[in-house]
């Protein structure tokens, strides 16, 4: 039942995208974006660590959508939006880092290299996590995204998905285990290169 609801939502998303592309009417884009605004805010807050900056990012991403949806063929809006918001926030963070004035000291070059390497590693880990989430079974993916990305509790997830509480708990626990295995494999394959 929950999977059918998700498929219906994806179909509805696709219809709204097509209506927006064909008519240019912003109400279709606004209706679509409204569905995922909480996700956009949560992702922005996760990266930017500031509620006002996250709110600004949500509005900036909406403005980006106007152009990007016209140019890109989007099959899964929710996943595509997640990546768009993440990339937007990472670009804001990079831009903010570039604009900071830094007093150059003896060890600052090494420190900058270490920070850059750490940021690259975090980005790589986030990309691997996103890839691994994409490989989960549909019900696991939905519950994992609701629990971790949208920070919903088990009770809220049962209401959203129509699944029983024990099933939600099991899906999240098994999904977390599967994600860990997938991430460990990614780390091993990356270190082997």
> pLDDT at residue 142 above 60?
yes
Q: Is the pTM of this model over 0.85?
A: no
Do residues 58 and 40 make contact, with C-beta atoms less than 8 angstroms apart? yes
Q: Please give the CATH number for the structural domain made up of 121-193.
A: 1.10.10.10
Site of tokens 């995208």:
17
Q: Which residues contact 27 (CB under 8 A, 6 or more apart)?
A: none
The pLDDT, as a whole number, for residue 41 is 92
Query: How many Å apart are CA 43 and CA 86, to the nearest integer?
Result: 7
Lowest mean pLDDT across 14-23, 46-55, 154-163, 180-189: 180-189
Domain coordinates in residue numbering, the chain: 1-97, 121-193
Give 7-39 pLDDT, tens digit per residue.
445 558 888 888 888 888 889 888 988 989 999
pLDDT band for position 168 (cuts 50, 70, 90): confident
The whole-angstrom distance between residue 61's C-alpha and the CA centroid of its chain comes to: 13
The pLDDT, as a whole number, for residue 146 is 84
> pLDDT at residue 193 above 80?
no
Do residues 142 and 2 make contact, with C-beta atoms less than 8 angstroms apart? yes
Give 79-137 pLDDT, tens digit per residue.
888 998 999 999 988 887 776 655 455 555 666 666 667 767 777 777 777 788 888 88
Q: Considering the chain, what is the average pLDDT of its residues?
A: 81
Q: Determine how many CB atoms are found less than 10 A away from the CB of residue 1.
A: 8
Query: How many Å apart are CA 179 and CA 119, to the nearest integer?
Result: 21
> pLDDT at residue 165 above 60?
yes
The pLDDT, as a whole number, for residue 3 is 42
More confident residue, 161 or 148: 161
The pLDDT, as a whole number, for residue 108 is 59
Query: How many Å apart are CA 94 and CA 78, to the nearest integer?
Result: 24
Query: How many Å apart are CA 122 and CA 53, to the nearest integer?
Result: 20
Between the CA of residue 168 and those of 17, 62, 138, 139, 163, what are the distances in Å?
A: 31, 32, 13, 9, 6
CATH of the structural domain 1-97, one choice from 1.10.10.410, 1.10.1740.10, 1.20.1250.20, 3.40.228.10? 1.10.1740.10
Tally of helices (H runs) and strands (E runs) in the chain: 8, 0
């Amino acid at each position: 039942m929950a999977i059918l609801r998700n498929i219906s939502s994806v179909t509805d998303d696709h219809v709204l995208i097509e209506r927006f592309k064909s008519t240019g009417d912003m109400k279709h884009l606004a209706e679509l974006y409204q569905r995922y605004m909480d996700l956009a805010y949560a992702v922005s807050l996760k990266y930017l660590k500031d509620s006002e900056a996250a709110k600004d990012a949500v509005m900036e991403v909406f403005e980006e959508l106007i152009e990007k949806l016209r140019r890109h063929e989007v099959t899964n809006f929710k996943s595509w939006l997640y990546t768009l918001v993440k990339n937007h926030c990472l670009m804001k963070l990079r831009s903010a880092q570039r604009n900071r004035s830094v007093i150059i000291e003896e060890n600052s070059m090494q420190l900058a290299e270490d920070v850059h390497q750490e940021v690259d590693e975090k980005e790589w880990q986030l990309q691997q996590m996103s890839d691994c989430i994409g490989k989960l079974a549909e019900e696991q993916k939905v519950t994992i995204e609701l629990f971790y990305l949208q920070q919903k509790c088990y009770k809220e997830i049962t209401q959203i998905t129509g699944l029983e509480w024990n099933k939600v708990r099991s899906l999240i626990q098994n999904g977390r285990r599967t994600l860990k295995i997938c991430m460990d494999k990614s780390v091993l394959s990356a270190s082997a290169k």
